[in-house]
Structure 1
Amino acid sequence: MSLTSRSILATMISLALYGPAMADDNPQAANNITNNTTPQVPQAKQLPMLEVSDEGLSGIEVVKGTCIAPKDRSQNINNEPIRISSDQADAENAIAITYTGDVVVKQGHRTIAADTATYHQPDNSVTAEGNVYFHDGGMEVYSERLESDLDTEDSEMENAVYSMTCEPGRGEAEKVIKDGLEYYRLKNGTYTTCPAGDQSWRFSATSIERETDSPFANLYNARFEVADVPIFYLPYLRVPVGNERLTGFLYPSMKLNSRDGFTLETPFYWNIAPNYDMTITPKYMTNRGLQLNTEFRYLTVFGSGSIKSEYLNNDKKSPDSGQRWAFNIDHTGLFQSHWLFEVDYSKVSDVAYFNDIDSNIGKREDNNLLQTAEASYREQNWDATLRVRDFQPLTTGVSSNYRLMPQVEANYYRPDLPYGLDFSMNSHISRFENDDPNKPSADRLHLEPTLTLPYSTPWWSVTSEAKLMYSYYNQQFDKNVSANEHLEESVSRMIPSARVHSGLYLERNTSIWGDAYTQSLEPQVQYLYVQSVDQKNIYDAYDTTLLQTDYYGLFRDTRYSSVDRIAAANQFTVGASTRYFDNQYVERFNLSIGQIFYLNPGAADIDGSSDEASPNYSATALESDFNYDDWLFFHGGLQFDAGNSDIQFANSTLEYRESSFFTQVNYRYVSKEYIKSSLKDNNDIDKYTNDGISQAGIATGFPIYGNLSVRGDYYHDLTESQMIESQITLDYQTSCWLISVGYNKYLISRGDVRFESPTYDSNISISFSLLGLAGVSGFSASTASGNAIGYGQPFNLNN
């Protein structure tokens, strides 16, 4: 076989499958190659370089099933050299040139193989037959026959089997039609992400269309089939096979539980513009009716955000509730590097909305739905913020929460003053309003100039701080309410404070059971002075609450979250931490212990009174974390009052984790006396607990057999001897689908623990998820109640 004949056929096949038409309309006839005469080569445009190779079928074994990333593909495939090999070639004068026996054609990142390949000279076309293989970097196709017209660039492959090589996806087609260079159409084709031989689910369609570089495929007369059984039909469906956005229906989801019945969601994605899109999701629940959910997302020069809404015209399960709806506006943006905007506003139609309907609208805190907005301007040495905050109560009756309507905050910073001093001025003006007529409203001005002198070396640091806190209140209240009898309408308050905090860092090498470790010792001491001032004439809970005291809280300069109460102090805080690091400097263990010693115990009282019975020291606080070889973890915290031999607060978590198995046991305890001392209004504490808080829980998950696994948790109130929540879920997962069956029972209301029994609700749920589909979020477990106690991180080591 001559090199010329190989070159002619290689060029023809490559032109048919890869490049633009290059053949002349009137090609010259070719002589029979076996007569050793040179055929007349048709005139060609931009003829690529041609090389002849004898690599045979081994050339396609390299690319079979492999993904060639877009960045590694040829940028201009038609300018790449063509390489061809076969066992033999024959030519019939002016009719055809045929290659036979392991024909392989390669050009750039594209490869074709066949038993035979024939160039038909009269109609300027190419036919490949027998074990036809095609690979273009992101897709490979096996077929029985391929035909290509060199003039129109149209090609057809019969009885094709295809698979994606860069993402999950494969299927079959009666015919694959390539229209020109950019468009593929599959006649009577299928699509699935299941591996070969697994027919668990698939999409079937009379026509599947996709542009070469498009991340989406269009399905016409689409059917979703499970084990070859049709489940639903859509006249049109757009299937994502990449991460780009395009208008069309997304994958539907199905769920079954005892609360809502059978639920079917069919989301439709609308790609409005490059910076705007919307997802519209009809959600049908057999027990409740049809709900319409929408999410509009945007990106502008002022930032990004979303607008979510849920609308249920008639809840069949709660017909007296009328129209039920919810919406949320969420925005975060930075403008011109100085302006910062944040909005999070949510509202629902009724207080029972979240108890009845599964929803992810807004943020909920203490049975209130958050409604807040703020705008900030920031420079290098100062910033200012305008903030408003409101809540929608999710309980009946008058809300006890204060609205911030509004607050203007201004802060000034000036570091690196002479002598190493840093200066800051924090200030705000706030307006507080409340719907409860028995509670006061107020305007508050607060100024807080601070001087700080920091000093540090690699092994020692000391920070000195002086602060002056000035507040002015204009309070409006009902003087006939006994709780307001100590309040004054116009109040000013000035409190100076000083703090000195110093710490050491010491380190040594040590060994435990023959293993090398680095141990650190980090002692620290703080002196804090805050002048004692009588504050009974100021309402203490506009936006202020007592902070929890743990080891790290011992070194704060305030006991409260805001400035309505400023606790007096004349005290030393002493504490120390030790840490162990392995030879990779991974922290494996730490232990911290600390305590406050009061120089003037009575000064710690908020009202300025002196109490000779006040203790000279606080409870001892301990914190510890332990990580053994990344499979056993422990975290514990404790506050112990040695004077009263009483544990005030304790929490602990122990977790075993290995591969797909984990078990976590946790416990928390708060004494009733500690709760009473922490709450201003503790008259009703007996309604909620007989003897403080004592709760234990366990969460676990592990494989049972093969693809079957179980997850579960159980939480119990030991004080009241009642379950808080329990759930168990069985998951069966394959490479392309997952089915989950779960049972959940959860506490709705405790009632008065002295007289009433708790109220529970329960649900059985079944959900089905397809895996491996682009544009579909991964499966995540959730409870039917939506209020399960979350999984807690068992340790907080600093690595």
Structure 2
Amino acid sequence: MSLTSRSILATMISLALYGPAMADDNPQATNKTNNDTTKAASSADQRPEPETLDVSLSELEMVKGTCIAPQNRTGEPDEQPVHISADQATAESAIAITYSGDVVVKQGHRTVAADTATYHQPDNSVTAEGNVYFHDGGMEVYSDRLESDLDTEDSEMENAVYNMTCEPGRGEAEKVIKDGLEYYRLKNGTYTTCPADDQSWRFSATSIERETDSPFANLYNARFEVVDVPIFYLPYLRVPVGSERLTGFLYPNIKLNSRDGFTVQTPFYWNIAPNYDMTITPKYMTNRGLQLNTEFRYLTVFGAGSLTSEYLGSDQKFPEKGSRWAFNINHTGVYQSHWLLKIDYSKVSDVTYFSDLDSNVGKREDNNLLQTAEASYRTQNWDTTLRVRDFQPLTSGTSSNYRLMPQVEANYYRPDLPYDLDFSMNSHISRFENDDPNKPSADRLHLEPTLTLPYSTPWWSITSEAKLMYSYYNQNFDKNITANQNLEESVSRLIPSARIHSGLYLERNTSIWGDAYTQSLEPQVQYLYVQNVDQQNIYDAYDTTLLQTDYYGLFRDKRYSSVDRIAAANQFTVGASTRYFDNQYVERFNLSIGQIFYLNPAAADIDSSSNTTAPSYSATALESDFNYDDWLFFHGGLQFDAGSNDIQFANSTLEYRESSFFTQMNYRYVSKEYIQSSLKDNNDIDKYTNNGISQAGLVTGFPIYGGLSVRGDYYHDLTESQMIESQIALNYRTSCWLVSIGYNKYLVSRGDVRFESPTYDSNVSISFSLLGLAGVNSFGASTASGNAIGYGQPFNLNN
């Protein structure tokens, strides 16, 4: 939007000081000269003579429209030699010196061209006229006339048209005025990021000002125009013209939904410092009132983090709830390569905050708002962590979740011992607290020394592992509660385990329908032994839950996520994978299948009091992925119990993807029996599902015509015959702006499926963005509710 001061100044000084000498000493630089040129030489022979070289018009054409990155520029151009080309050079002694006819001047990375360029000696000024062109690496300017005072360093360009070559941005100005070296002003100027043939929008102002190297321009009496029609007026506006962050208003967001009514958000971005910023967003909702949302971000030597808050002074829809607020503190950082600090603390004013208001504050898990913090110290062989985990219940009544107050974890690793042994020691001391008086609290000490012997070749590997798991519990509980009658206050447990895992890698060349492939076969077998120890005197759910068993989980050495329950094992796991790679080593297909065979089936069941006969083998697990020519993809997983002839769970995804068009269909299924076997407290499962989980979804997006495109998704619960969520958005995008109109309907509350009907909410949203402005995010598809399953690529192919 502005000229670079030194470019014009250095060029005009060169014309004034060195032009006559070059015309005299380098006649090849002037194809046509007259006798006045020789006369002028005598007036300039006291000045230093620069190196000169012809600059052809073809070289000028190579410069136009190009970006010269800052690292590729020639340092200080004023210190570089000046190269001049012209058809003719004439001089009138002590009055004027004129170059004419396709004048081209280069100095370093800067270029000036004009029909004529004249130096006026009496007032020490320079005038360039006729098709004036200027290029400084990052900007080019076309104008009719340029005048520059070499004493005051002031310049003017008339009828200027400028274009930024390293970033979007162009415009026009009636006059460009340069005041000294540091300040530029465009009189009656414009600015837009649209290409030259697109007049969709622009900023116009009676004065546009910019300091040298500033990331923004100041617009006075600014108007925002769409197709030359003024939309709004501001007496003052700042517009970013570089990649730097800029203080100012961002573009508003408009929504309409049945819950909040008509909603308008007007974010204000405050660039406090290079490592601090804040976004302040007033949000007005016709059904609720004015909400103030803020996000403060920082970056220090201790790491990066944010402080987020939301405040609604009075909720007009629920006035009895008073003021409503939420906040989150988040920090992650590494200090001096050894210390790691993580904090994620959130809190809201009431338990129905998230069901009543749209909010992305914090992390939610099992109807609880998490509040966690940990500090770790790590060395080559040690890592130690102090961890605290709390939560805020988001349901009425007493929460059944356990707080970790605190946990100290210490782990030691020592590889490459004699005989190629590896040693590790995992340990932690934990304090568990709960608000439910019917549940115990506890102190737990756990030690887990492990000795591992790995061995591998390119085609075969075997790993042997021996482990001791020692746990000590000090439990506090109400003995009058029936569920606690088997518990003991002080109890210890020592469980040894052994594991041997071996695998082969075989491959061969093959062909399918005439195409060459490499097929691999990867069988593996594992033996696992975990001693059967009575654990009925230990509460089994302080921080422990049953893990889902898919193919990749068959070869784990445990069934539970933590150590409150350690399942006995005396079993073999057998599995195999095959993969097909094309001649570019792209994996096109894989198939994996595996199963566990129990040598002592009764010991494998942690609830040994059960009278049912334990199976001698697990369900068969399968996983498969397929990629056909990079446009058709498939993923499927299945766990089938041959004993009961039932599918326990399954999932599949089929996707077509080509250019900007994609369609993805997905499905997941979990049987009700499998859910019941996985939950400790399953008395209320009928409240949530009649017959397990069976859900299907469709996600698609495709162009319609030109910049018009559509994106939509739909998810449906087949078991309960309920729509979970649907969304459709129509987007129109050009090279410099886009608009999106969307509709979203989603499930708010399922209720008790036996008696209640589901509750839905819907949203209509409209968003508009200008593309190419620094500090303004381009549009990204998102759900109005924030609950929809987003598009993903769930393919486990090794590409």
What range describes the TM-score normalised by the shorter chain of this pair? over 0.9
User: How is 1:89-104 mapped onto 2 (pairs within 5 angstroms)?
Assistant: 89-104=89-104
Structure 2: gaps spanning 5 or more residues: 1-5, 25-32
* 1:723 aligned residue: 723
The secondary structure found in structure 1 opposite 2:694 is strand
* 2:256 aligned residue: 257
Displacement of 1:763: 0.6
* 2:420 aligned residue: 420
Structure 1: gaps spanning 5 or more residues: 1-12
Displacement of 1:20: 7.0
* 1:39 aligned residue: 40
What is the alpha-carbon distance in structure 1 between the residues aligned to residue 191 and residue 512 of structure 2?
58
* 1:496 aligned residue: 496
The residue identity in structure 1 corresponding to 2:271 is W
Displacement of 1:101: 2.7
What is the alpha-carbon distance in structure 2 between the residues aligned to residue 516 and residue 135 of structure 1?
55
* 2:291 aligned residue: 291
What is the alpha-carbon distance in structure 1 between the residues aligned to residue 515 and residue 544 of structure 2?
49
From the superposition, tell whether residues 48 and 262 of structure 1 become closer, same or farther in structure 2 (CA, over 3 Å): farther
Displacement of 1:286: 4.5
Deviations 1:544-567 (A, max 9, x none): 111110001000010010011111
* 1:405 aligned residue: 405
From the superposition, tell whether residues 587 and 115 of structure 1 become closer, same or farther in structure 2 (CA, over 3 Å): same
Moved more, 369-378 or 116-125: 116-125
The residue identity in structure 2 corresponding to 1:202 is R
What is the alpha-carbon distance in structure 2 between the residues aligned to residue 339 and residue 287 of structure 1?
48
How many pairs align? 781
**Is 1:517 matched with 2:517?**
yes
Q: Judge conservation of contact 1:192–1:203 (CA < 8 Å) in 2.
A: yes
From the superposition, tell whether residues 195 and 765 of structure 1 become closer, same or farther in structure 2 (CA, over 3 Å): same
The secondary structure found in structure 2 opposite 1:51 is coil
Q: Judge conservation of contact 1:310–1:327 (CA < 8 Å) in 2.
A: yes
What is the alpha-carbon distance in structure 2 between the residues aligned to residue 39 and residue 287 of structure 1?
81
Deviations 1:322-374 (A, max 9, x none): 22222221111222222111111112222333334433322222332221100
Deviations 1:52-104 (A, max 9, x none): 5262x333211111111111111020122222223334434433233333222
What is the alpha-carbon distance in structure 2 between the residues aligned to residue 82 and residue 554 of structure 1?
75
**Is 1:49 matched with 2:50?**
yes
What is the alpha-carbon distance in structure 2 between the residues aligned to residue 437 and residue 540 of structure 1?
17
**Is 1:244 matched with 2:244?**
yes
What is the alpha-carbon distance in structure 2 between the residues aligned to residue 405 and residue 463 of structure 1?
37
* 1:647 aligned residue: 647
Deviations 1:675-722 (A, max 9, x none): 111111111111111111111111100011111110001111111111
**Is 1:175 matched with 2:152?**
no
Displacement of 1:115: 2.2
* 1:752 aligned residue: 752
What is the alpha-carbon distance in structure 2 between the residues aligned to residue 291 and residue 151 of structure 1?
57
* 1:368 aligned residue: 368
* 2:28 aligned residue: none
Q: Judge conservation of contact 1:602–1:609 (CA < 8 Å) in 2.
A: no
* 1:676 aligned residue: 676
Moved more, 317-326 or 57-66: 317-326
Q: Judge conservation of contact 1:242–1:775 (CA < 8 Å) in 2.
A: no
Moved more, 594-603 or 124-133: 124-133
What is the alpha-carbon distance in structure 1 between the residues aligned to residue 46 and residue 453 of structure 2?
79
The secondary structure found in structure 2 opposite 1:38 is helix
* 1:440 aligned residue: 440
The residue identity in structure 1 corresponding to 2:390 is D
The residue identity in structure 1 corresponding to 2:677 is S
The residue identity in structure 1 corresponding to 2:600 is N
The residue identity in structure 2 corresponding to 1:269 is W
Displacement of 1:447: 1.0
Moved more, 107-116 or 66-75: 107-116
* TM-score computed with the length of structure 1 as normaliser: 0.93
Q: Judge conservation of contact 1:263–1:286 (CA < 8 Å) in 2.
A: no
* 2:3 aligned residue: none
From the superposition, tell whether residues 22 and 393 of structure 1 become closer, same or farther in structure 2 (CA, over 3 Å): farther
What is the alpha-carbon distance in structure 2 between the residues aligned to residue 656 and residue 561 of structure 1?
36
Displacement of 1:40: 6.2
Displacement of 1:299: 2.6
* 1:469 aligned residue: 469
* 2:194 aligned residue: 194
User: How is 1:675-694 mapped onto 2 (pairs within 5 angstroms)?
Assistant: 675-694=675-694
**Is 1:577 matched with 2:580?**
no
Displacement of 1:770: 1.3
What is the alpha-carbon distance in structure 2 between the residues aligned to residue 574 and residue 130 of structure 1?
84
Q: Judge conservation of contact 1:190–1:205 (CA < 8 Å) in 2.
A: yes
From the superposition, tell whether residues 565 and 91 of structure 1 become closer, same or farther in structure 2 (CA, over 3 Å): same
What is the alpha-carbon distance in structure 2 between the residues aligned to residue 546 and residue 61 of structure 1?
70
What is the alpha-carbon distance in structure 2 between the residues aligned to residue 569 and residue 794 of structure 1?
32
Displacement of 1:509: 0.9
Deviations 1:410-469 (A, max 9, x none): 111222222222111111111111122222211111111111111111111111111111
User: How is 1:176-575 mapped onto 2 (pairs within 5 angstroms)?
Assistant: 176-246=176-246, 248-258=247-257, 259-272=260-273, 274-575=274-575
Q: Judge conservation of contact 2:739–2:767 (CA < 8 Å) in 1.
A: yes
Displacement of 1:197: 2.6
* 1:7 aligned residue: none
What is the alpha-carbon distance in structure 2 between the residues aligned to residue 773 and residue 591 of structure 1?
48
What is the alpha-carbon distance in structure 2 between the residues aligned to residue 341 and residue 576 of structure 1?
41
The secondary structure found in structure 2 opposite 1:252 is coil
Displacement of 1:406: 0.5
Q: Judge conservation of contact 1:535–1:607 (CA < 8 Å) in 2.
A: no
Percent of aligned pairs with the same residue?
81
From the superposition, tell whether residues 681 and 52 of structure 1 become closer, same or farther in structure 2 (CA, over 3 Å): closer
From the superposition, tell whether residues 202 and 211 of structure 1 become closer, same or farther in structure 2 (CA, over 3 Å): same
* 1:775 aligned residue: 775
Q: Judge conservation of contact 1:603–1:610 (CA < 8 Å) in 2.
A: no
* TM-score computed with the length of structure 2 as normaliser: 0.93
From the superposition, tell whether residues 285 and 119 of structure 1 become closer, same or farther in structure 2 (CA, over 3 Å): farther
Q: Judge conservation of contact 2:55–2:105 (CA < 8 Å) in 1.
A: no
The residue identity in structure 2 corresponding to 1:212 is T
What is the alpha-carbon distance in structure 2 between the residues aligned to residue 169 and residue 290 of structure 1?
36
What is the alpha-carbon distance in structure 1 between the residues aligned to residue 742 and residue 324 of structure 2?
27
**Is 1:86 matched with 2:89?**
no
What is the alpha-carbon distance in structure 1 between the residues aligned to residue 15 and residue 118 of structure 2?
17
Moved more, 358-367 or 59-68: 358-367
Displacement of 1:520: 0.6
The secondary structure found in structure 2 opposite 1:350 is coil
From the superposition, tell whether residues 332 and 147 of structure 1 become closer, same or farther in structure 2 (CA, over 3 Å): same
What is the alpha-carbon distance in structure 1 between the residues aligned to residue 314 and residue 49 of structure 2?
68
The residue identity in structure 2 corresponding to 1:51 is T
The residue identity in structure 2 corresponding to 1:764 is V
**Is 1:798 matched with 2:768?**
no
Displacement of 1:289: 3.6
* 1:8 aligned residue: none
What is the alpha-carbon distance in structure 2 between the residues aligned to residue 14 and residue 249 of structure 1?
31
User: How is 1:134-173 mapped onto 2 (pairs within 5 angstroms)?
Assistant: 134-173=134-173
